[in-house]
Amino acid sequence: MKNVNLDYSILMKNAIKYGDVKGHIPYNDWINNPEAVTLIEHGCQFNCAFCGGSNFAYKNNFFNKSPIFRDPKQVAREIQSAYEVLGAPVFVVGDINQAGPKFYEGLFKEIKEMGIDVPLLTEYFKPPSLEYLQSLSKTFPDFTAEISPESSNQKIRERNSFF
């Protein structure tokens, strides 16, 4: 399960094959503002009330433990492939920093070795360390950081999540 591959070329081929581009797009304005997605993990460390990928859901329905982190090399390949197929920024679902230094250093090493230069969207549940941010900015000069759950109001974040 750790090596599932998200292949955007299959999505594009099927959209053409079945003559149904509209049925294959993930959101209304995707054609004008595309964004690719990849996941660093199955499950999550947290139990946010609005998310079907919570720690509780994965432990009780899919695996004995959660999260299960994917192979950094595979994640790097998906980032590269998604950008090659779509030419769009790639949103990395899952807090790379919370995965720990071994994971993010491995991922950043793979990305550098592959020569990947893509705009990256990242999400964070807790503020990342300065060391992590410096490493990220050396690997991706063009990145965006998003706080999740999506509110800067800590009271709203606490109501929606079970950190």
Span 19-61, pLDDT tens digits: 887 787 777 887 888 888 998 988 888 887 777 777 777 788 8
Cα separation, 131 vs 147, whole angstroms:
18
Joined together, the tokens standing for residue 147 give 């706080």
Span 63-106, pLDDT tens digits: 777 788 999 999 999 999 989 888 899 999 999 998 999 999 99
The model's pTM: 0.81
Largest Cα separation within the chain, whole Å, is 48
Q: For residue 1, is pLDDT > 50?
A: no
DSSP-derived pairing of the beta strands 120-124 and 68-69:
unpaired
